[in-house]
Chain A
């Protein structure tokens, strides 16, 4: 019992640290990738290859003067970025970061908690993530910020529906709501993306919209709204909003890899002839490789596609994504029914 608790505690700290670390270096990666796409050099002053840039940015954010507008709702103004950061960090507990490790004959899973409704928990956290943006935008007492907040909330609600429906189809094929069990079912190369290609497509588009990433970054569309919901924010509060976006991107990539790309599973994992702990270690690295690929994919899209117009965004969400997701659920239902009969 004691050992279980110690392992869980180590896992919590490790997941938190890794999430923050990867998010920090995503900012560096984003700028380097943007530079590559635009034929520039990117950050290269702080440290070798500019590797200390995230640190320099963090110090800059903390040292800057903090401004709270005179007519702002002070409590909610502080609560906004805090909530954005909190909800960004909450999903990590249900993601299986690796298979089990063997210590003294007993097996311990590399997942903080495998609740039987893991997918729904993740979905619930995503659905309350919008409060950080809404509260911050409203509390700023600024029309641009309010418009940004309203855009964010309507966008997130619209895309949550299609996302939920794509998860319904996934749950129908796997018959499970626990993320740990879904990943175990994808042993070897039985990845869900093979069985749910349309569902995966819908899910990843909605994940882009939920993370407010280009081409769906209308809540902070600077050509129309100055800075969107964080127009009035400065110092580390602004830093938290920007940082929460990168953590969300990391967590979304982790969920996409776990649900559709087999998580820590990789082909021929049984025929390598390695010990259980060794396979688990390779699995963890494979999982993080998949996650980093999807983070790169997020950035790749951002520097390739321009952003949508707002009516195009809503049309895509309501008139294309949701009908497609419903058709996907119908097809999945028919196939599952037919296969179970035989």
Chain B
């Protein structure tokens, strides 16, 4: 049962990920990416990590992608006004993409295969996740939140640039 679900979800996530790249309209790409996130949330549910699935949808599909869509709609990007890219750019893009793929395949080849997690696994349940985050990984977790806070302050600073320049020194 869960194996069939896994195959359907995997197929959908791969297809939607490909459609993100191949669709002509940027808005469609964003929507396919949202769909891709939903299928990934489905994978989390199959691994018994409902909390992660819900947070994934709230944060990525519900907040970040809405902002993406927001920007794409405001800029009103279209296939016909897309600037023409010259050949140097295309060749360098192919080389860079090829390098990334080489690294990814070599990493995948040498990576340890994880054991199959059975459905009785309870690590994704909120309580266990909370205990792991706030006891075993307390320091990295708190440091990460400080990192996020500094990123947030930084972005506010950039957005307020004009006001700061006008401030009396």
- Which A residues touch B51, using CB under 8 A? 117, 120, 177
B54's partner among A121, A131, A135 (CB-CB below 8 A) is: A121
Residues 145-160 of A, flagged 1 when their CB comes within 8 A of B and 0 if not, give 0100110011011001
CB distance from A125 to the nearest CB of B (A): 9
Count of chain B residues with a beta carbon within 8 Å of a chain A beta carbon: 22
Q: Is the CB of B62 within 8 A of A124?
A: yes
Number of A-B contacts (CB under 8 A): 66
Residues 62-79 of B, flagged 1 when their CB comes within 8 A of A and 0 if not, give 110011011001100000
Q: Is the CB of A127 within 8 A of B34?
A: no
CB distance from B144 to the nearest CB of A (A): 18
A138 contacts chain B at the CB level, 8 A cutoff = yes
Once the chains are docked, how many angstroms separate the CA of A207 from the CA of B60?
21
Once the chains are docked, how many angstroms separate the CA of A154 from the CA of B69?
11
Assuming A124-B62, A128-B57, A149-B73, is B67 touching A116 (CB within 8 A)?
no
Q: Which residue of B lies closest to A175 (CB)?
A: B127
Q: B52-95: which residues lie under 8 A (CB-CB) from chain A?
A: 54-55, 57-58, 61-63, 66-67, 69-70, 73-74
Q: Which residue of B lies closest to A178 (CB)?
A: B126
Classify the interface of chain B: helix, strand, loop or mixed. Answer: helix
A135's partner among B25, B31, B58, B62 (CB-CB below 8 A) is: B31
A236 contacts chain B at the CB level, 8 A cutoff = no
Name 17 interchain pairs, CB-CB below 8 A, sorted by A.
Answer: A73-B27, A76-B31, A116-B50, A116-B126, A120-B54, A124-B57, A124-B62, A127-B57, A128-B61, A138-B69, A146-B73, A150-B73, A153-B66, A153-B69, A160-B63, A177-B51, A177-B126
A residues within 8 Å of B by Cβ?
Answer: 73, 76, 115-117, 120-121, 123-124, 126-128, 130-131, 134-135, 138, 146, 149-150, 153-154, 156-157, 160, 164, 177
